[in-house]
Amino acid sequence: DQQVKQNSPSLSVQEGRISILNCDYTNSMFDYFLWYKKYPAEGPTFLISISSIKDKNEDGRFTVFLNKSAKHLSLHIVPSQPGDSAVYFCAAGSYGTASKLTFGTGTRLQVTL
Amino acid sequence: NAGVTQTPKFQVLKTGQSMTLQCAQDMNHNSMYWYRQDPGMGLRLIYYSASEGTTDKGEVPNGYNVSRLNKREFSLRLESAAPSQTSVYFCASSEVQGSSPLHFGNGTRLTVT
């Protein structure tokens, strides 16, 4: 049972445009959400997070939006750059408890020139 | 500042052989984790250690054992490797379990023939 779903395995966006990566979750106990970025042959690196008390969190070119009623979050990258080409994982968990993060299957973003 | 260091980077085992994957972090983090990544499956938690002296099972613990040797080091042992354990293994650490982002190592690619 996939509790965190990334339904788009891949996405191609032109440089300078907006990239929107989507993630859905089913467990209503999740209240802490993160996005990780992964380059080939490297480990995932933390990008941005959001807790359920917010519906938006921004960090430079990266913004995460959370829609709790729809159990949906999205990552917006504006403007997209070639260096953003990577696999993006969303993850969810319960903030501050002894539970563990559940990861989605990832979306491969390619930013073209 | 190395972060999370995993050894080895690559390993090929025959079915039934044993090996230990090593992981060390230099960020003085309390919690450490072992994940495996398989195509189409995202990252799945094998074992975690919320603090020195404690370990707990994750989502897919069968066939593995762990040791939290000290605050810095967390090893993963395969006692009798099986082809189903062919995967990329990631070690991660976090300051506090459940409320701070994970920092990942660069992974160990394991093939069991």
Return mean pLDDT, chain A. 93
pLDDT at A36 over 80: yes
- pLDDT tens-digit profile of B57-105? 999 999 999 999 899 999 999 999 999 999 999 999 998 766 688 999 9
Residues A99 and B98 sit within 8 Å (Cβ to Cβ): yes
Helices and strands, number each (H, E), in chain A? 0, 11
Considering only the beta carbons, identify the residue of B4, B42, B92 that sits closest to A106: B42
Q: Which two tokens stand for residue B47?
A: 């074992």
The per-residue pLDDT for range A55-104, each reduced to its tens digit, is: 999 999 999 999 999 999 999 999 999 999 999 999 998 876 645 789 99
CA distances from B11 to B20, B25, B73, B107 (A): 10, 21, 20, 11
Nearest CB to A105: which of B42, B48, B101? B42
Do A96 and B98 count as a contact with CB atoms less than 8 A apart?
yes
Position B42 confidence tier, pLDDT thresholds 50, 70, 90: confident
